A = this chain, B = another copy of it.
Amino acid sequence: MCELLGMSANVPTDICFSFTGLIQRGGKTGPHRDGWGITFYEGKGFRTFKDPKPGYQSAIARLVQNYPIKSKAVISHIRQANRGEVNLENTHPFTRELWGKFWTFAHNGQLSGFEGMDTGNHRPVGQTDSELAFCWLLKKLDDAYPSPPEDMGDVYRFIASCCDQLRGMGVFNMLLTDGEHVMTYCTNHLYWITRKAPFGKATLIDEDVEINFQEETSPEDVVTVIATQPLTANEAWNRMKPGEYSVFHGGELIESNTALLKDVSFAEAKPGCQAPTSCS
Are B48 and A87 within 8 A (Cβ)?
no
**A71 (CB) vs chain B CBs: closest residue:** B88
A44 touches B125 (CB 8 A): yes
A: contact size bracket: 20 to 34
Give bound CA distance, A260 to B51, whole Å: 44
B101 touching A125 by the CB < 8 A rule? yes
| Contact partners of A59 in chain B: CB under 8 A | 63, 67
- A35-87 contacts to B (CB < 8 Å): 42-52, 59-60, 63, 67, 87
Tell me which of A43, A122, A126 has the highest count of chain B C-beta atoms within 10 A of its own C-beta.
A43
A280 at the interface (CB under 8 A from B): no
Report the bound CA distance from A50 to B179 in whole Å.
17
Majority secondary structure, A binding face: mixed
A102 interface contact, C-beta 8 A? yes
Chain B residues with CB under 8 Å of A63's CB are: 59-60, 63
Q: Are A42 and B88 in contact (CB under 8 A)?
A: yes
In Å, the complex CA distance between A63 and B121 comes to 36
Give the residues in chain B near A142, CB-CB below 8 Å: 121
Which segment, of A92-100, A212-220, A269-277, faces chain B? A92-100
A187 at the interface (CB under 8 A from B): no
Which residue from B91, B96, B123 sits with its C-beta under 8 Å from A45? B91
A88 to chain B, nearest CB (A): 3
Known: A63-B60, A88-B47. A124 touches B100 (CB 8 A): yes
Contacts of A47 in B (CB 8 A): 48-51, 88
Distance in angstroms from A218 CB to nearest chain B CB is 23
Instruction: Tell whether, in the assembled complex, residue B123 and residue A99 are in contact, meaning their CB atoms are under 8 Å apart.
Output: yes
Q: Judge if A207 is at the interface, Cβ distance under 8 Å.
A: no
- Nearest residue (CB) in B for A102 is B125
In the complex with contacts A48-B48, A63-B60, A142-B121, A42-B97 CB distance below 8 A: no
Encode contact with B along A9-52: 1 for CB under 8 Å, 0 otherwise: 00000000000000000000000000000000011111111111
In the complex, chain B residues whose CB is within 8 Å of the CB of A50: 47
Specify which chain B residues have a CB less than 8 angstroms from the CB of A44 in the assembled complex.
89, 125-126
Closest to A43 in B: B87
Task: Give bound CA distance, A223 to B38, whole Å.
Answer: 31
Q: Indicate whether A49 sits within 8 Å of B46 (C-beta atoms), given known contacts A63-B59, A125-B102, A142-B121.
A: no
Least distance between A62 CB and chain B CB atoms (Å): 9
- The 4 lowest CB-CB distance pairs between A and B, nearest first, are A45-B88, A45-B89, A100-B123, A44-B89
Instruction: Pull 7 A–B residue pairs with CB atoms less than 8 Å apart, ordered by A.
Output: A44-B126, A45-B88, A45-B89, A59-B63, A59-B67, A96-B97, A100-B123
